[in-house]
Amino acid sequence: MRLSGRFYDLSAAALAAVLSGLELGRLVVYGGATKGFLPGAAVVMGVMFCVVLVVAALGLALHWRIGWLFGVFGFVAALSYGSILRAGGNWIGVAYMLASFGLLASLIKDLATYTAGAATEV
């Protein structure tokens, strides 16, 4: 069974939204306190991570080219932020790193849809 490109669009958007929601929840529950980081730095990094993923989720769900671009930025952000969190001793970083590869896989499978000119311009 072959899945359409739209399925991969929506799965990447859902994964980006879940990662963003998870990070926002983590920031609210722990109040920005992250082991190994100053409280202000942890909040700024967490909010920037969430902004990239929210833009990616909206862009991918609405099938904008900027969504795919921010999806790639979201992959890089999730991988790097996850490794930074794990280096600080936080195990949630492992989940971010693993989820980033799921996001990348969905983006790669969806690339044909965007290169075919089917996407709308922003």
Task: Give pLDDT tens digits for 28-38.
Answer: 888 777 777 77
Average pLDDT over residues 11-25: 93
Average pLDDT over residues 56-77: 90
What pTM does this model have?
0.84
pLDDT for residue 96 is more than 90: yes
At position 45, the amino acid (one-letter code) is M
* Alpha-carbon gap, residue 56 to 51, rounded angstroms: 8
The structure tokens 């921010």 sit at 70
Q: How many residues does the chain have?
A: 122
* Alpha-carbon gap, residue 63 to 95, rounded angstroms: 26
Which residues pair with residue 64 across a beta bridge? 120
Q: Residue 54's pLDDT is what?
A: 95
pLDDT for residue 15 is more than 80: yes
* Alpha-carbon gap, residue 23 to 18, rounded angstroms: 9
pLDDT for residue 122 is more than 50: no
Least confident span in 35-39, 52-56, 78-82, 104-108: 35-39
* Alpha-carbon gap, residue 38 to 107, rounded angstroms: 33
